[in-house]
Amino acid sequence: MTGTAGAAMMSSGTCRCEVRSPTVRNQTLDAEPFLVVGLIAGIRKVLIVTAEAGKSFRWKVEGIELVILAGLILVLATAT
């Protein structure tokens, strides 16, 4: 059977439906959807920090946070 959302099997006029979770396959956790969510959250946070900084950008506060977020985004992008 193929498809992660579900599959129907017809035999002798009966229908057996099987629903599979898109993140759990063969009793192992598929981490890719969580990496994508983390990547989107990291990019969103970078946009928020840069918008809030405006003209009063300080390397000691916003700069360190942006460097950490950039590293996080880079790691998540390469892991995905």
Q: Are 70 and 39 in contact (CB under 8 A)?
A: no
What is the rounded distance in angstroms from the CA atom of residue 80 to the CA atom of residue 68?
18
Give the pLDDT score at 63.
86
Enumerate the β-bridge partners of residue 22. Answer: none
Q: Which pLDDT belongs to residue 51?
A: 86
Determine the pLDDT at residue 19: 54
pLDDT, residue 69, reads 92
Sign of the CA dihedral with 66 first, then 72, 76, and 78 last: positive
Please state whether the predicted TM-score (pTM) of the whole model is above 0.75.
no
Tens-place pLDDT, residues 12-52: 556 665 555 555 556 676 778 888 898 999 999 999 888 88
